[in-house]
Structure formats: C-alpha cells, structure tokens
Structure 1
Amino acid sequence: MRAGSARRVVASTVAALLTALCVPLVVHAARTQHEPAAAADQHFAVTWAASAGRQNAGPAERSYRLVVRTSVGGNALRIRLTNAFGDHPVTFASAYAGLQRQGAELIPGSNRRLTFGGQSSVTVPAGETTLSDPLPGDVAAQSDLVVSLYVTGAQGPMSGHGLAMQTSYATTGDHAAEEAAVNWTDAMSFWYWLDAVSVQTSAAISSVVTLGDSITDGWASTTNLNHRWPDYLARRLQATPESTVKGVANEGISGNKVLADGAGEAALRRFDRDVLAHPGVGTVFVHEGINDIKARPGVTVDDLAAGYRQLVDRAHAAGKCVVGATLMAYKGWPEYDPAGEAVRQGVNDWIRHSGVFDAVVDFDKITRSPYDPQTLLPLFDSGDHLHPNDMGMQAMADAVDLAALRCDR
C-alpha cells in the first residue's frame, strides 16, 4: 500500500473511532452504592486513583494489601472497587483501610473495617464498580494508605492497574484485618480491584486528574518513592497555601493512546470512568498522544487535534477546566522516525496556538536538549530516550503554573 493510501485508511479509521468513542460511557455502581450526604460547605474529592484495565486471571480466595499515596487530606475516606473488566461477579468478603508503617506492616491501631451499604462484604457484578461507606476519622495529605481486601469467588480476568511503581502484597486466605506483615509474603507491582480513593474536604478544595500514558504513569521513575510527575505536582500543591487545588488523581496508562484501544481503553473511551466519575474534580490535565504518533502507520495532526477537541468539549460540558501539555522529544527511541517527528512538531504547534485548551504547559520546551531539540535533555533522560528520570519528572511538575489549574467555569 502506498503511503498516501495508508494515510487515507488511517484517517477514515480514526474518523470512525472518534464517532464511536464520543458516546459517553456509564460507570455502573453496585446496588449498595449510595452517595453520602456532605455538609453544605464540604464535598468529596478524589485523593488517589489509578486507571484499571483487563488483567490476567488470578487465583480465588486471596487477599491483597494495596499501598497508595493520598494527595488531598480530609475525613470520611471511601474507596472505589472495580470489576469493570471482569467477566464474572467478584465478592470482596472483607475490606480494611490502614496506614503503612513499613512494607506490608501497618501502624498499630490504624487498620479499620470498611463497609458497603452497612455490610462487611459486597459482590460486584461484571462490568460494574462500587463505593464503600465513608470511614469516620481524618486522613492526612501525603499519607501512605493501605487498603487490604479479601477476594472470594474470583473467576477469569481481574480488573486492575498493571504499572504501579509501588510494592504491594498478596497472600492466600483472609488476612485483611491483620496489621502485622508476617503472612503477607507475596510482593507484587500491581494494584488489583482498587481504582480510586476519595475523602470529604472543604467545598472550596478541588482535584486535578492527569490523563496520560507511561510518562504520566511514572515508568522509569524510582519504585516506592512516589517520583512520578503527578506525585511531585501533588507535593507542590500541598506546599502552596494559596492553592485550592490539592488533590491529584493519576490516570496514566503505559502505552495508552488518545484515539485507539490497545494498552488499555483509549483516552476517549475511558474518559467518563477515569475522569468525570471522580468527585471534586475541577481540572483535567491532558498529556497524551505520543503513542498514537509512534503507531504504524501513525495518525495525523488533524486526527489528534480532533481527539483533543472531543476531550475538551466533554470536560467543558461537565464544568471542568482542561490543561494541555506538549509532547516531549523521543529521538533515539526505536519507533522514532522523521515522519512521526513532523507530526509531533505539528501537534505541539496546535496545542500551543489553537486556543482549545484553557491553559498550556510546554513540557517539550523544558525537557528537550538545546543542542538537538528532537531529543530529551540528557540530564532528564532515563536512558531510553522517551521516559524522563526522577529529575525530569520533577522538572515537568515544576513547569506547571499552579494558577493555570483553575479557570472560570
């Protein structure tokens, strides 16, 4: 097939995808889910999240101890459990939330039972999610929260996040209530079943969702140190008293695309579940598109621009601000080629000058080499010429104008 014909095929395929993907998805809730009432001057805001996808089948009658880092602090903590990608119902026979002391060990006295509609267990049908009841008490910002689940009756694929950059734990049998680490012998780098945590906080406080691919997911950052760029952003927000944006929900998926499914559902397809369904979100931060460009054959500038417009339109319709970020250099990565680079440059020009986004952060400008603008600055390069190292991740977060995370919507 000639290059021109291939491009026309891609364009028509993308147009069809955009038509299909623009239909909002419904995030289903289990029968036990109820939205708890909040005081007039308070609301719930997401404090942690990780995009779920379809994972391999796992053994039944197993406990999972999942370690996550909160961003915004508050009270009345609740978790969201997902079976969005399962083929069968799954039962969470017991669920607890505590604070990490070290490894799988919890701070004594911190581990408390979670309930669902007043019950200690909940069964979530295939394709659905459920919220726990609010847990009385305060949760501090930047806490190492540990959610322990005992899962029974699991069959087929599990729902979860495959690139945690955080060590969690598993074991056979029900050990969710235990605070000691002795029975938690199986270390793992996944987050299964848990895909969001929210807290009740001041109605003036909001959260930002970072929608992206492996760079946002944190690939190449140091495991267990919370050195993803959204983590650095969360620390900046906490250290800035005048900022009312305090929560950060990281919805990056390694290998993800804006337009096409593959490594997880396309950003357009997962937008409702991974962005709009979270409480207290005021802003969406979009940094995604390099995987669309690197595909063979890749997409055009117009293709990605149309996808971005749909994301912005859907966010605006829900009253959210949208920040767009330019795509960073990737020369030296195996899939780099001059044609893809030309598209990246064109996409970045569109992001900078189209006026579609409420604000723009120029990640490309602050991370590229001054000697070869098609490559990452060596100081920020993890070594694979695509993903930033810890220093690059921090530079990205530092480049965000915190005032740009709010707009008049």
Structure 2
Amino acid sequence: MRANSAVGVVCALVMAVCGPLTATSPAQAEQTAQEAGQGTHTVVTWGAGADKQGPGPADRGYRLIVRTSVGGTDLRIRLSNAFGDHPVTFASAYAGLRKQGAELVRGSNRQLTFGRAASVTVPAGETVLSDPLPGRLAAESDLVVSLYVTGARGPTTGHGMAMQTSYAAAGDHTAEESAANWTDPMGSWYWLDAVSVETSAKTGAVVTLGDSITDGWASTTDGNRRWPDYLSRRLRAASGSTVKGVANEGISGNKVLADGAGESALNRLERDVLSQPGVSTVFLFEGINDIKAHTGVTADALIAGYRQIIDRAHAEGKCVVGATVMPFKGWYEYDAEGEAVRQEVNDWIRDSGAFDAVTDFDRITRNPYDQQRILPFFDGGDHLHPNDKGMQAMADAVDLSALRCVG
C-alpha cells in the first residue's frame, strides 16, 4: 500500500481530521453524498460460513484478517459460539487495518465494545454483535479483528478453510499494532463470522451460498482470488449497481440436503444468509457434493431442496440467482449416474423459471471438446475446482443487473 493511501484509510477509520483524504475517489464522494441525502442502513461487508471446529486453547489471542467489500461507517462485528457447548468469553476485541502480515497500520487499532463493555460472554449456541465503531471503513480493506478468548472449553466455532493467513498468540496482545507477539500463523478464521457497516439506504449486498468452489479452494491463498472476490471488485467498479456488499458463505464439502461439512445449505440458510443485514440477493451455487457423494441423491430431491431455499428467501423479500453445477469428469468420484443427475439438475436450473435469474457456470467453464470436463485453462488441477483464471471467468459471467432485486 502506498503511504498516501494508507494515511487516507487510517484517517477514514479513526475519524481524524484529514481534509480531502477522507474522500479519495469520486465513488467514495458519491457514496457519502448518497448517505447524507437518502439515509443509511446496515449492510454486511464480509461473512464466512460457521462450522464446528476442534477444541482450542482455553486462553488464546486470534488476529483475524478479512477483506471488506462495501465501505461505510460504524463497523460492527458478529462473534459466534453457534457450535460451542460451553459459554466463551471474549475478554478484549480490537479492529484495525493491516499493513503487512500480522502488523497493523500505525494508529488504526481501536477497541470494540459490547453493550459498552470491553468484554462479553457468549452462551453456547449464541452470537453477539459489537457496538458500532465510529468512523469510516473503506471498501476492499484488509480489516484486522484481534480477539482475546478466555475460558474456552469444547468445540470452537469458525471457518476451516479461509484461504487467508491469520495469526494467533499466547496472552492478550489485541491492543498491539506490532506483529512481534503474533507468531503463530493459521489458515482458519475462529469466532468471527460477519462484519457489517452503515451505508446508503439504497445500497444492498449479495450472499454467495456454496461449497468449496465458492470457498475458494484452488485459488491463490492470501490473494483474494475466490470468485466472490472478483465479483466484489466488479461491483465496486460498476457505477450503475446498487449492490456493493458481498458475503462469501461457501463451506468446503457443503451439501444442499445433508449435514456433514458444515450444516446443509437448508439448515444454515437462516444463520449464514437470511440473518445478514442489507442482503437483497442470494446467489445459490451448490449441488456437486450432493451429486458426487454416491448416496443415491436424485435430481428430484436436489430440485426440491433448491425450491425450499428459493421459497424461504422469497418469503424474506430476497431475490435468488441460481447457478448451474460445473463439470467434474476426471474427479475421482465421477460416474455416469452422477453426471446424469447433474445434467437433469442443470436443465431445471436453466429452464424452470424458479430462479429470478440464472448464471450458467457450466457453460462458461466446460471444455467444448468434452463437455463433462472443466476447460483445462480453468482447471485447478483436480478436475473439479477452478484456478484463479477460472474464478475470474465465473465472476465475469455474472450479470450484475440480475443481482439487483426489484421484485
């Protein structure tokens, strides 16, 4: 990050008087004017599907690196003990901006509170929101949330495959901006499952509900090259789009119908998707794990699951975009029976009219010479997960106008 850009972002976050640096682009200036003239509401700027993780140390610091999508003011974090069987205490929590690694931009780290208290205890199965943190947080920022957890017992709650390096420490070093004590790198996010900001009342968000492809497997770690990341950058650059927030709720191995790698899409829909603030559209891209699991799942069963998600989202006033299931020939679980189910499901997604819009990921990524295989240029190496180029092609295939719910 260039020095002037870093100063501008820090000033925006801590509400220092920094003159013109608080509006570093025409888009930010336009957003500020919209907020002033049209009112504001809360919109999710980052999210990650929660799942049960193994027991963790009773006392540990977590420095979690997350990438925002939409910018705004008054950030809030959501901490989850959804899969715990004991209360957990967050003795201190801070939010700042990353400089590099576990090091923060000087002057950016600020304490978060919960009901005006510096600590909070979250019962088993519950979540908690922080108080709003005054100041502006820019879009596409590397936000650093530092937590000190005490008295943890039993399973933890988190997101196993972050495709992002975060850091852990022994003891409470949450207030420190130095990386000196944050020496334990980790590839998962713990406890934190959403971040939101206050922004223009006309600004909305899309939640991408999916599996390992949406989660980013085979994309570049620490590169923010998952297809929802590319989508977020497209939305930010699109002057005509009112959808700016993107919450990635992909979980590796996730299924539509059955619990396993995370709760099923049906069972986690409320917590991971519908409870997120400011969401106008659900982007549903799941099904390959149901199909290739050799459990006898039929196209009719999977379609019934899709219909339930669509109906529940519509009942909450959300639009639903569906995506076709991508090719997987060459993956070790591929067989003719699974391929037949995939083809039948994709025909229904394209032609049923059940979705408000459809993105044809199958057509975009398949090999024209063997349409059951992913195009080699997009293949991450296992014939199922796309590489960075494939991820970008997927995001580029999304019709941005279809994400704006006008129903």
TM-score where L is the length of structure 1: 0.90
Q: Deviations over 1:4-28 (max 9, x none)?
A: xxxxxxxxxxxxxxxxxxxxxxxxx
Q: Distance in 1 between matches of 2:317 and 2:231?
A: 22
Q: Deviations over 1:85-122 (max 9, x none)?
A: 00100000000000000000000000000000000000
- Secondary structure of the residue aligned to 2:248 is strand
- In structure 2, which of residues 211, 214, 238 is the aligned counterpart of residue 216 of structure 1? 214
Q: 1:39 deviation in Å?
A: 10
- In structure 2, which of residues 57, 60, 63 is the aligned counterpart of residue 62 of structure 1? 60
- Secondary structure of the residue aligned to 1:222 is coil
User: Which residue of 1 is the match for residue 290 of structure 2?
Assistant: 292
Q: Tell me how many residue pairs correspond in the alignment.
A: 372
User: Which residue of 2 is the match for residue 73 of structure 1?
Assistant: 71
Identity %: 75
One-letter amino acid of the structure 2 residue matched with residue 350 of structure 1 = W
One-letter amino acid of the structure 2 residue matched with residue 279 of structure 1 = P
User: Which residue of 1 is the match for residue 341 of structure 2?
Assistant: 343
- In structure 1, which of residues 174, 177, 181 is the aligned counterpart of residue 175 of structure 2? 177
Check whether the contact 2:93–2:111 (CA below 8 A) recurs between aligned residues: yes
User: Which residue of 2 is the match for residue 154 of structure 1?
Assistant: 152
Quick check: 1:82 aligned with 2:77?
no
One-letter amino acid of the structure 2 residue matched with residue 117 of structure 1 = G
Q: 1:268 deviation in Å?
A: 0.2
Runs ≥4 residues deviating over 2 A: none
- Secondary structure of the residue aligned to 2:370 is coil
Q: Distance in 1 between matches of 2:48 and 2:388?
A: 20
User: Which residue of 2 is the match for residue 407 of structure 1?
Assistant: 405
Q: Distance in 1 between matches of 2:317 and 2:87?
A: 34
Q: Deviations over 1:250-295 (max 9, x none)?
A: 0000000000000000000000000011000000000000000011
Q: Distance in 1 between matches of 2:295 and 2:238?
A: 44
Q: 1:407 deviation in Å?
A: 2.9
One-letter amino acid of the structure 2 residue matched with residue 224 of structure 1 = D
Q: Distance in 1 between matches of 2:264 and 2:59?
A: 32
Q: Distance in 2 between matches of 1:52 and 1:311?
A: 18
Q: 1:403 deviation in Å?
A: 0.2
Structure 1, unpaired ranges of 5+? 1-37
User: Which residue of 2 is the match for residue 354 of structure 1?
Assistant: 352
- Secondary structure of the residue aligned to 1:315 is helix
Alignment of 1:32-51 (within 5 A): 41-51=39-49
One-letter amino acid of the structure 1 residue matched with residue 78 of structure 2 = R
User: Which residue of 2 is the match for residue 122 of structure 1?
Assistant: 120
- Secondary structure of the residue aligned to 1:374 is strand
Check whether the contact 2:241–2:404 (CA below 8 A) recurs between aligned residues: no
Q: 1:41 deviation in Å?
A: 1.3
- In structure 2, which of residues 375, 380, 404 is the aligned counterpart of residue 382 of structure 1? 380
Check whether the contact 2:43–2:245 (CA below 8 A) recurs between aligned residues: yes
Alignment of 1:3-402 (within 5 A): 41-402=39-400
Q: Distance in 1 between matches of 2:314 and 2:383?
A: 34
Structure 2, unpaired ranges of 5+? 1-35
Q: 1:312 deviation in Å?
A: 0.3
- Secondary structure of the residue aligned to 1:197 is strand
In angstroms, what is the RMSD of aligned CA positions?
Answer: 1.0
Change (3 A) 1:126 1:179: same
Q: Distance in 2 between matches of 1:118 and 1:85?
A: 26
Q: 1:408 deviation in Å?
A: 2.2
Check whether the contact 2:47–2:249 (CA below 8 A) recurs between aligned residues: yes
- Secondary structure of the residue aligned to 2:281 is strand
